[in-house]
């Protein structure tokens, strides 16, 4: 199970409206429960985001490594890691 540390949970709480029309979590505990439920994951680089999307069969035809991290499902944690949440 991914380690959703304080930084990851705060990133999700602050940016969840990028993916959802209204908040799905109000507290770090709710955020952790939600992320575990939807099987979100944390990766360590843009390259790992790319590999994940490629493995999942996501159409990346018009994307590059920088653009892929702008996808709605991808949240930059701020320390080089990325949170991927399947909406």
Question: Considering its fold, how many domains does the chain have in total?
Answer: 1
Asked whether 20 and 75 are in contact (CB, 8 A), the reply is no
Token pair of 66, please?
């920088």
Tell me, yes or no, whether 64 lies in a domain. Answer: yes
60 within some domain: yes
User: Residue 43 domain-assigned?
Assistant: yes
| pLDDT band with cut points at 50, 70 and 90 for residue 87 | low
In a domain, 28, yes or no: yes
Q: What pTM did the predictor assign?
A: 0.91
- pLDDT at position 67 is 85
Confidence (pLDDT) at 61: 82
Domain that holds residue 14: 6-84
For residue 10, being part of any structural domain is answered with yes
Residue 1 lies inside a defined structural domain of this protein: no
- pLDDT tens-digit profile of 32-82? 999 999 999 999 999 999 999 999 988 888 888 788 888 999 999 999 999
47 assigned to some structural domain: yes
């Amino acid at each position: 199970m991914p380690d959703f540390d304080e930084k990851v949970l705060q990133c999700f709480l602050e940016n969840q409206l990028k993916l959802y029309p209204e908040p799905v979590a109000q507290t770090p505990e709710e955020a952790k429960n939600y992320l575990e439920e939807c099987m979100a994951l944390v990766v360590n680089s843009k390259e790992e985001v790319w590999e994940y999307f490629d493995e999942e069969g996501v159409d990346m035809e018009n994307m590059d490594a920088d653009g892929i991290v702008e996808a709605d499902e991808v949240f930059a944690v701020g320390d080089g890691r990325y949170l991927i949440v399947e909406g």
